[in-house]
Amino acid sequence: MAFKGLTKDLVASLGIGHKRLELGVTYRETGCKTARKGWHCTENPFECLGFFPLGHGNRHFRVEAGGMIDEDGGCQIACTEIILVEELDHKKLAGYGMMYMVQHPLRKDWEQDRQHLRVAEGEAAAEQAGDIAIARGPYPRVRGPEGAILGLILEPEPGQIEAAKLFVVSGEQAKIWWTVDEERNIQEAERNEEKAG
């Protein structure tokens, strides 16, 4: 599974020049080399945001990478064939980002501090509706206004993920710190801290 960002008009505007893509169509290049040649995508969906950030009309997709594939030893991929499989809204993007962390718990590329996205150890906060905030660790805490997308990853020890929860903040949940407990329930963070202490 891989991910790619594009402009609002579905244009790949970096690397191979300006090419407009369509959902479900296979696109081919003659060769590939990470950061140099071919179609580029990434295993970590949040890495797309370094090139096509949230909040600028950019669009993000789950893609199928095929043909010859070159990887950089991290999450960057170059390939000779690519298909746009699914367009991702902010919630789906956050869900795939959390799935990446669960599947690769010891990789170091998961922390993110970008416009409209914060993924951090311990606690993370979203500033506005549509923003994504994900916290990871033994006592993860998140908060945000109504419409923000919040994620919690319970990880008592490095690499030992026990729960992952994603939700969109509704009215009564706004601006309250939330956590996930050992039973995988989302609850107010203060209540969890009282139980732990």
The DSSP line for 95-123 is HHHHHHHHHSTT-S---EEETTEEEEEEE
Residue 197 has pLDDT above 50, yes or no: no
Mean pLDDT of 46-69: 94
- The model's pLDDT over 150-183, given as tens digits with 9 standing for 90+, comes to 999 999 999 999 999 999 999 989 989 999 988 8
Average pLDDT score over residue span 97-118: 94
Cβ proximity of 149 and 130 under 8 Å: yes
- What confidence category does residue 34 fall into, taking pLDDT thresholds of 50, 70 and 90? confident
Alpha helices for 16-172 (secondary structure H): 90-103
Mean pLDDT of 23-38: 89
Residue 15, pLDDT score: 59
pLDDT for position 195: 41
pLDDT in tens, 117-144: 999 999 999 999 999 999 999 999 999 9
The proportion of the chain whose per-residue pLDDT surpasses 70, expressed as a percent, equals 94
Confidence band (pLDDT; 50, 70, 90) for 98? very high
170 conformational bin, left if phi > 0, alpha if psi -120 to 50, beta if neither: beta
pLDDT at 14: 63
Q: What is the pTM of this model?
A: 0.91
In this model, does residue 55 exceed pLDDT 90?
no
Q: What is the pLDDT of residue 193?
A: 45
Task: Decide: residue 24, CB within 10 A, 0-12 exposed, 13-18 middle, 19+ buried.
Answer: exposed
Provide the pLDDT for residue 17: 66
